Amino acid sequence: MAMKTVEIGGKGSSLTSASVYIIANGLAQVSIDSSILDKFSSSKSPPVSKKSLNVSNSTNPSFLTTVEARASLVVLLNKLIITQHGIRATLPHLITDTLNGGPFALESVDFGSTLGFLDSLCKVNGKNIEDVGVTDAELTVLEHSCYALDGICALLDFSLSCLSTVADAVASLSCEASSADVSALVNSLDSGDGFSDKDIVAVASDFKVLLTGSKLVGKNGCSAVSEIPEVHGSFRESVKQVHSKTRLKLNSSVRIGKDGSLTNATGGKQLKKTISSLAESLVHLGESSLCRVELVATSQDADIRSEVLEKSGALKKGIQLSSEDNYLSSFHEINNLVATVRNILAWEGALAVLSLDSMESKEKAQEVPVVSSSVETKKGNPNAEKKSQKKKKVVLGKGTAVVKQLLMDRLKSEGGSAIVSLAVLNESVQDLCLFFEPKDAGLDTFLKKVKEMVESNDSRRLPKLPKGTRDFAKIEMAIRGKAFKIIEEVFKRHGATALDTPAFELRETLMGKYGEDSKLVYDLADQGGELCSLRYDLTVPFARYVAMNGITSFKRYQIAKVYRRDNPSKGRYREFYQCDFDIAGQYETMGPDFEVVKVLTELLDELNIGDYEIKLNHRKLLDGMLEICGVPPEKFRTICSSIDKLDKQPFEEIKKEMVGEKGLTAEVADKIGTLVKKRGHPLELLSELKQDSQFLENNGSSLALKDLEILFDALEKSKCIHRVVFDLSLARGLDYYTGVIFEAVFRGTTQVGSIAAGGRYDNLIGMFGTKQVPAVGASLGIERVFNIMEQELEKDGNQSIRATETEVLVSIFGEDLGQAAELASEMWGAKIKAEYLVNKRVSKHMDRALESRIPLMVIVGDQERSANQVRIKDMQANEEYLVDRDSVIQEVQRRLKLLSL
- 351-364 tens-digit pLDDT: 998 888 888 777 76
Q: What is the mean pLDDT of residues 695-706?
A: 90
3-state helix, strand, coil in the chain (%, to 5): 55, 10, 35
Q: Which helix (H) or strand (E) holds 615?
A: strand 612-618
* 770 or 75, which is more confident: 75
Among 296, 281, 439, 285, residue whose Cα is nearest residue 357? 296
- CA 383, 388, 392, 393 dihedral sign is positive
pLDDT of residue 371: 42
Q: For the residues 404-415, what does the mean pLDDT come to?
A: 75
pLDDT band of residue 420 (cuts 50, 70, 90) is low
**Of 57, 243, 49, the residue nearest 142 (C-alpha):** 49
Q: What is the pLDDT of residue 563?
A: 93
The rounded radius of gyration (Å) of the Cα atoms in the chain is 38
Spatial neighbors of 177 by CB under 8 A, at least 6 apart, are 216, 296, 299, 351, 352, 355, 356, 359
Q: What is the mean pLDDT of residues 728-754?
A: 80
Q: With a cut of 90, say whether residue 568 has pLDDT above it.
A: no
Residue 470 vs residue 680, higher pLDDT? 680
Residue 389 vs residues 218, 358, 385, 397, 806: alpha-carbon distances, Å: 16, 21, 7, 21, 45
Name which of 3, 15, 24 is nearest 439 in CA terms.
24
Q: How confident is the model at residue 770 (pLDDT cuts 50, 70, 90)?
A: confident
pLDDT at position 1 over 80 = no
- Compute the C-alpha angle 835/836/837, nearest 5°: 135
pLDDT tens digit sequence for 137-148: 888 888 888 888
Per the DSSP assignment, residues forming a β-bridge with 504 are 534
Q: For residues 168 and 231, what is the distance between their CA atoms, to the nearest angstrom?
A: 11
Q: Which of 679, 678, 666 is nearest to 629 (CA)?
A: 666
Answer whether residue 768 shows pLDDT above 70: yes
Burial of 466 (0-12, 13-18, 19+ CB in 10 A): exposed
Average pLDDT of the chain, as a whole number: 83
Comparison of pLDDT for 675 and 263, the residue scoring more? 675
Residue 419, pLDDT above cutoff 70: no
**What per-residue confidence (pLDDT) applies to 851?**
86
Q: Which residue has the higher pLDDT, 469 or 370?
A: 469
Distance of CA 617 to the CA centre of its chain: 37
Q: How big is the CA angle at 535 (ends 529 and 537), to the nearest 5 degrees?
A: 160
Q: What is the predicted pLDDT for the residue at 802? A: 76
Q: What's the pLDDT score for residue 62?
A: 65
**Whole-number percent of the chain with pLDDT over 70:** 85
| Ramachandran quadrant class, 881 (left: phi over 0; alpha: psi -120 to 50; beta: rest) | beta
Cα separation of 122 and 111, whole Å? 13
Q: How many beta carbons lie within 10 A of that of residue 112, not counting itself?
A: 16
Residues in a beta bridge with 615: 725, 743
**pLDDT of 215 higher than 90:** no
pLDDT tens string 520-538: 888 887 667 788 999 999 9
Once rounded to an integer, what is the mean pLDDT over residues 411-421?
53
pLDDT of residue 257: 53
The whole-number pLDDT of residue 566 equals 80
| Mean pLDDT in residue range 437-446 | 91
Going by pLDDT thresholds of 50, 70 and 90, the confidence category of residue 417 is very low
With a cut of 60, say whether residue 127 has pLDDT above it: yes
CB 327 within 8 Å of CB 301? no
Task: State the sign of the Cα–Cα–Cα–Cα dihedral 843, 847, 853, 859.
Answer: negative
The closest of 504, 492, 342 to 429, measured between CA atoms, is: 342
Instruction: Output the CA torsion sign for 102, 104, 110, 116.
Output: negative
Residues found in the chain: 901
Give the tens place of pLDDT for each residue, 843-876: 999 999 998 889 999 999 999 999 999 999 999 8
- Of 416, 338, 315, 396, residue with least CA distance to 166: 338
Q: What's residue 384's pLDDT?
A: 46
**Residue 791, CB-side half-sphere exposure with 13 Å CA sphere:** 15
How many angstroms separate the CA atoms of 824 and 837, rounded? Answer: 10
| pLDDT tens string 158-212 | 999 899 999 999 999 999 988 888 887 776 655 444 445 778 888 888 888 888 8
Which pLDDT score, from 0 to 100, does residue 461 have?
53
pLDDT of residue 438: 92
Count of alpha carbons within 13 angstroms of residue 47, beta-carbon side:
4
Cβ–Cβ contacts within 10 Å for residue 130, how many?
10
Strands 724-727, 28-32: pairing kind: unpaired
pLDDT at 346: 92
CA atoms within 13 A of residue 588's CA, in its CB half-sphere:
6
pLDDT at position 252: 82
Is the model's pLDDT at 582 over the cut of 60?
yes
